[in-house]
Chain A
Amino acid sequence: MANAHRHEWAFVLAATVRITRDFDVAEECVQDAFAKALATWSEQGVPASPGAWLTTVARRRAIDLARRRDVAERSKRFLITDVAGDVSPEVGSVEDDRLRLIFTCCHPSLATDGQVALALRMLCGLSTAEVAKAFLVKESAMAARLTRAKKKIAIARIPYRVPRGEELRARTDAVLVVIHLLFTTGHTSPVGELLTQVDLVERSLDLARMLAGLLPDDAETSGLLALILLTDARRGARVGHRGEFLALAEQDRSQWHRASIDEGLHLVGQSIRRGRPGRFTLMAAIAAVHASAEHWDETDWAEIVGLYDLLLKAWPSPVVALNRAVAVSFASGPLAGLNALNELSAEPQLSAYPYMAAARGDCYFRLGRLDQARDAFEEAAILTENGVERAYLLSRVDELTLK
C-alpha cells in the first residue's frame, strides 16, 4: 500500500486535476481513493493495476463533485487547461497529465520554496508534515506555504499546461533546478545529525526519472538524472561503520552502487553527444570521471579541471569556482590550489561556507603548514551545521593538535 502510494500518487493526482481543475479538490479526491483502496484491497487483494484502479476511483469522485457543484461558482476557480470541459476519464495520456502537473508546480511565478513544497506534496505525495520535516520548518508554516502557492495558482491563473516552443526550454530548466535542490538537500542534509535524508534523495531520483521518461530528447534532463545516479551511487560508502563521514579519497569504491553508475555513465554519454552540454550534463560528466576511477589515485584531475572550466562558463557561480580550485589542488598541487582558493576569498557567498575553510585546510595540510591547517579545519567545523560533517572536521583538528 505504501508502495502504491509513493509510485501512483503523481499519476492519480495529475489525472484528477484535469477534472477538478483545482489542486485542493483534487488532493481530497485522491486521498479518498487511497482510503477506499486501503479498505477494499485488504479484503479483495491488490488489483492487477493499482494505478488504474486508484485513478478511476479518484476521477469518479471528482466528476461526482463537479456535477454537484454550482457551475457558476466553479467557473471562477477553474485551472486553465487546453481541454476546457473535458471530464471523460479516457481522454488524454497520463504522461501529458503528469507533465502538466510538473510544469504547474514549478512555475517561475511561484517562490522557489513554494515550488519545492508543491513538488513534494503534489508530485511525490508526501504529507504536509513530511514536507515540513524535510525542510525543518513547522508544519503550520509549511501548510501556509502550500496554501499560498495553491491560492496563487488559482487566483493568478497559472495555467495547467505544458509550455510550448522556446518557452519549454527555459521552463524545463526551472523544473530541473527544483529537482536538483531536492537532491542536494537530501544528499548532504544542511542541518541535523544524519548525513543523508534518504527519502528526499529517492524522491528527487523518482522525479528526475519521471521527467527523463517524459522528455527523452532533452539532454539536460538526462544529464540531471545521470548526475543524481552517479552521485547517489556513493551513498553506502560515504559513512563508515561508526557513522563517521568518509571523504571521496577514503571511500571503499567497491561499495559504490554499480547499477546506478552504469546507468549514469550511459546517460551522461548520451547527453554529451547531443552537443553543447549544459550545467547538469557537465556536473554529471565530472561525477562520471570520479565514477570511472577505480581508485582515488587514478582520478583524471586534468579532465575534471577542464570540465569545471566549461561548467564555470555555463553556470558562473562562486561554489563552482571553489570546486574547481579543489580540483586544481589535485591536478597541479596544493600551492596552485591554495592560490586559486585565495582568489575567491572576497566572494561574499563563500565567506561563511564551510567547504571553503575545509578546502583551505586540506591544501595547508598537504603543504605541511599544519598550524594553519588546524585553524582552517576548526573554522569549517564551526561553520557546518551537519553533525556528521562536524565530527569529521573535528577529528582532523584533533589529529593535528596531537602532532
Chain B
Amino acid sequence: MRLNGSLEEKGAIMAQYLLLIYGDEGSASRAGDEAMGKLMADHDRFGETNGACLRGGNALEASSTATTLRKGPSGEVAATDGPFAETKEAIGGYYVIEASDLDAALAIAKQVPAPFGGVEVRPIRDMS
C-alpha cells in the first residue's frame, strides 16, 4: 500500500497533482441523505487508503455561493455573483496528492469518489 514510501526509497523525484472533482450540482442536491452519507464515508475511506500521498483537500460549497472578480475595460475590478464559468458540472471539491508520475497519480485519482461527474488531474507546477 505504501507506494509512496517505497518509491521515495528508490530516490524517485515526486511531483504534486491537483485532483479537481467535478459534478452535476442538481443531481447532488436531489440525492438523499443516505446517498450523501455514503459519499462522505467513501471519501473517508479514500483518505485512509491514500493518506500517505495526500497533501490536502476539501469539499466546496455550491457554486451558487461563489463570487467572481473580473477586471473591467478601464482596469477596475468588478465582483459578480456566481462561478467564473457557468457549466453544468461544477467543481465540488479537490485533493492535492503527491505521486511519482502520471500513472501513479491516475491510479489514485481513479479511487476518488465522484458519483455526479468526474475527476480532472492537473500537474502542479514545480516552482522550486
Contacts and interface: CB of A to CB of B under 8 A. Distances in A.
Interface string B75-106: 00000000000000000000000001111011
Q: Which of A80, A109, A158, A159 is packed against the most chain B CB atoms within 10 Å? A: A80
Nearest to A163: B103
B102 A159 contact: yes
B101 A84 contact: no
B117 interface: no
B123 A157 contact: yes
Interface in B52-69: none
Contacts of A157: 15, 100-102, 105, 123
Nearest to A82: B10
B16 to A, nearest CB: 11
A109 B106 contact: yes
Contact of B103 (A75, A155, A159): A159
B123 A156 contact: yes
A163 B121 CA distance: 19
A192 to B, nearest CB: 37
Interface size, A (range): 10 to 19
A157 to B, nearest CB: 4
Interface in B1-31: 10-13, 15
B90 to A, nearest CB: 23
B100 to A, nearest CB: 6
Nearest to B122: A156
Nearest to A107: B102
18 contacts: A75-B13, A76-B126, A78-B13, A80-B12, A80-B100, A80-B101, A84-B11, A84-B12, A109-B102, A155-B123, A156-B121, A156-B123, A157-B101, A157-B105, A158-B101, A159-B101, A159-B102, A161-B101
Given A75-B13, A107-B102, A109-B106, 11 more contacts: A76-B126, A84-B11, A85-B11, A155-B123, A157-B15, A157-B101, A157-B102, A157-B105, A158-B103, A161-B101, A167-B103
Top 7 nearest A-B pairs (CB, nearest first) are A80-B101, A159-B101, A157-B101, A156-B123, A156-B102, A158-B102, A157-B102
Interface of B: 10-13, 15, 100-103, 105-106, 121, 123, 126
Interface of A: 75-76, 78, 80, 84-85, 107, 109, 155-159, 161, 163, 167
